[in-house]
C-alpha cells in the first residue's frame, strides 16, 4: 500500500504517506524542461479544486531526455512560476536499479513495466490501493473523473 512509504520532500523533510489515509493520493514524476511541464498549471488547478480529498506529490526526475538537470533548490524556484502549493518532493530516479522504493512499488502495481516519460500520473484510493495510471499525454484535470 502507498501508506507504507516515507519519502523526502524537496526540502529534505520526511513525508509519511500514512498521514494521508482517507485522501486520494496522486503521484507524478515531473521535469522542468519537458513539453508537458505546462501540466504543473493543471495539477495546481486539480489540487485547488479537490484539496479536501486529494493530495498531490510531484517527484522531479532526470531520467527522460535530461529534462530535469537542476538540483532541488533550483527546481523549487522554477515551480514558483506555477504557484504550486502541492507537495514537491526530492529529485529521484523512477526506473532502474537506483529507482526510489516508492516507484519500485508503483511499477509493481502495473506489472513492473517501466515508467515511460515525464508527467506520468499514478492515482491511489483513500484506503491506499492503486487505482489508475495516467500517461503523460493525459491532462491532470481529467483525473477529476476518477476521484
C-alpha cell read off for 96: 532502474
C-alpha cell read off for 125: 484510493
Backbone angles phi, psi at 98, to 5 degrees: -100, 15
Which of 31, 34, 58, 115 does the annotation list as catalytic? 34
Annotation says 61 is catalytic: no
Q: Is 124 helix (H, G, I), strand (E, B) or coil?
A: strand
Cβ atoms of residues 73 and 88 within 8 Å: no
C-alpha cell read off for 123: 492515482
C-alpha cell read off for 129: 490501493
- The DSSP annotation for 59-128 comes to EE---STT---S-HHHHHHHHGGGT--SEEB-----SSTT--HHHHHHHHTTTTPPP-STT-EEEE-TTS
Residues acting as catalytic residues: 34
Amino acid at each position: 500500500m502507498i501508506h507504507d512509504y516515507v519519502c523526502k520532500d524537496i526540502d529534505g523533510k520526511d513525508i509519511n504517506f500514512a498521514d494521508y489515509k482517507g485522501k486520494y493520493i496522486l503521484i507524478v514524476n515531473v521535469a522542468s524542461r519537458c513539453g508537458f511541464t505546462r501540466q504543473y498549471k493543471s495539477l495546481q488547478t486539480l489540487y485547488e479544486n479537490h484539496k479536501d480529498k486529494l493530495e498531490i506529490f510531484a517527484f522531479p526526475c532526470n531520467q527522460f531526455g535530461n529534462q530535469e538537470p537542476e538540483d532541488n533548490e533550483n527546481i523549487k524556484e522554477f515551480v514558483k512560476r506555477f504557484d504550486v502549493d502541492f507537495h514537491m518532493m526530492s529529485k529521484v530516479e523512477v526506473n532502474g536499479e537506483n529507482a526510489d522504493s516508492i516507484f519500485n512499488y508503483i511499477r509493481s502495481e502495473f506489472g513492473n513495466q517501466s515508467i515511460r516519460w515525464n508527467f506520468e500520473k499514478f492515482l491511489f484510493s483513500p484506503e491506499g490501493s492503486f487505482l489508475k495510471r495516467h500517461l503523460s499525454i493525459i491532462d491532470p484535470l481529467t483525473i477529476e473523473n476518477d476521484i
